[in-house]
């Protein structure tokens, strides 16, 4: 039998509660959020973070919203059952760097700092810490690579270099703030080079045009040397797989 039960208020604030939902014998967190902009009750399965999300207008009845989530139990269970599994970064796992498959290879004889050699990411140190060590290294590689891409496209766009940060957002590969700062997903380091560079060029174009007008795309096409439409298609088709690598994302 599927059921929903409380684990108490969450730490994210008064507009969000944490419950749990039992689906086919497995317990999943149920995140309830009351949003001013919501016009209806909606439930979804986040198969990456392995949780159920329930959003509702601030004026809606919470009990009714939870009953609505309960009514979707069979659908939710099917979503989780059909989801691809997460891929832990461990000895023998296959991941990707710069769009090319690469095997994680651990040995106590290897250095603690990962090194790419012969189609492998070779890493030493305690085997239990492989994932954290490689993830930290991949994020370092990402920031160094993105900085070079950013300098290239800012030079082409004749715009000053912005602040750069690396994150792990689920819904955006990149973002550009009004304060002229760019944030990029570290996971793009696993994508093909032209896919990654298309995202960087896209955000650089936003430094001049904070919209998606014809003028924006004109600038983007003038600075990006690849096929942005093909890059967009790749992300739509394969981008979700990048989120299966490593631990659950937090944003």
Q: Do 213 and 143 share a structural domain?
A: yes
Segments forming the whole domain that contains residue 196: 93-243
120/123 Cα distance (integer angstroms): 9
Using DSSP, state whether 206 is helix, strand or coil: helix
pLDDT of the residue at 171: 81
pLDDT of the residue at 13: 38
Q: Do 218 and 124 share a structural domain?
A: yes
DSSP string, 108-121: TTS-SS-EEETTEE
Average confidence score pLDDT of the chain: 88
* pLDDT values of the chain reduced to their tens digit, one per residue, 251 residues: 455 554 444 333 334 456 888 888 888 899 898 988 888 999 988 877 788 989 999 888 888 888 888 899 999 888 888 777 888 999 999 999 999 999 999 999 999 999 999 999 999 999 999 999 999 999 999 999 999 999 999 999 999 999 999 999 888 999 999 788 999 999 999 999 999 999 999 999 999 999 999 999 999 999 999 999 999 999 999 998 899 998 654 44
pLDDT of the residue at 248: 54
Q: In this structure, is residue 172 part of a structural domain?
A: yes
113/138 Cα distance (integer angstroms): 11
DSSP character at residue 85: P
Number of other residues whose CB lies within 10 A of the CB of residue 190: 23
Q: In this structure, is residue 9 part of a structural domain?
A: no
**CA 75 and chain centroid, separation:** 24
Nearest partner of 150 among 139, 137, 166, 138, judged by Cα: 166
Domain count, the chain: 2
Q: In this structure, is residue 231 part of a structural domain?
A: yes
Q: Do 157 and 105 share a structural domain?
A: yes
Tokens of 111: 């250095």
Q: Do 122 and 72 share a structural domain?
A: no
Q: In this structure, is residue 75 part of a structural domain?
A: yes
Q: Which helix (H) or strand (E) holds 181?
A: strand 181-185
Number of other residues whose CB lies within 10 A of the CB of residue 181: 14
For the chain, what is the largest distance between any 2 Cα atoms, rounded to a whole number of angstroms? 61
Is the Cβ–Cβ distance between 202 and 174 less than 8 Å? yes
pLDDT of the residue at 134: 96
Number of other residues whose CB lies within 10 A of the CB of residue 95: 18
How does pLDDT run across 32-44, given as a tens digit for each residue?
Answer: 989 888 889 999 8
Q: What's the predicted TM-score (pTM) here?
A: 0.75
pLDDT of the residue at 38: 86
pLDDT of the residue at 4: 55
Number of other residues whose CB lies within 10 A of the CB of residue 231: 22
φ/ψ of 200, rounded to 5, equals -65, -45
Q: In this structure, is residue 251 part of a structural domain?
A: no
Q: Do 75 and 38 share a structural domain?
A: yes
């Amino acid at each position: 039998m599927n059921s929903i039960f409380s684990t108490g208020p969450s730490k994210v604030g008064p507009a969000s509660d944490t419950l749990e939902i039992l689906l086919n014998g497995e317990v999943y967190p149920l995140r309830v959020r009351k949003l001013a902009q919501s016009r209806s009750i909606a439930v979804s399965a986040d198969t990456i973070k392995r949780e159920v999300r329930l959003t509702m207008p601030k004026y809606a009845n919470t009990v009714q919203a939870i009953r609505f989530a309960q009514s979707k139990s069979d659908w939710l269970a099917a979503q989780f059952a059909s989801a691809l599994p997460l891929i832990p970064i461990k000895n023998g796992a296959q991941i990707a760097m710069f769009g090319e498959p690469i095997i994680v290879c651990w040995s106590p004889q290897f250095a603690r700092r990962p090194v790419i050699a012969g189609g492998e990411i070779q890493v030493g140190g305690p085997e239990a810490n492989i994932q954290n060590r490689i993830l930290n290294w991949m994020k370092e590689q990402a920031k160094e690579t993105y900085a070079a891409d950013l300098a290239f496209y800012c030079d082409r766009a004749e715009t000053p270099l912005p602040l750069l940060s690396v994150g792990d957002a689920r819904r955006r590969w990149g973002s550009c703030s009004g304060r002229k700062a760019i944030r990029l997903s570290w996971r793009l380091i696993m994508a093909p080079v032209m896919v990654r560079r298309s995202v960087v060029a896209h955000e650089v174009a936003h430094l001049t045009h904070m919209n998606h007008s014809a003028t924006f795309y004109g600038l983007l096409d003038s600075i990006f040397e690849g096929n942005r439409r093909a890059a967009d298609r790749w992300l739509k088709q394969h981008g979700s797989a990048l989120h299966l690598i490593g631990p659950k994302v937090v944003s």
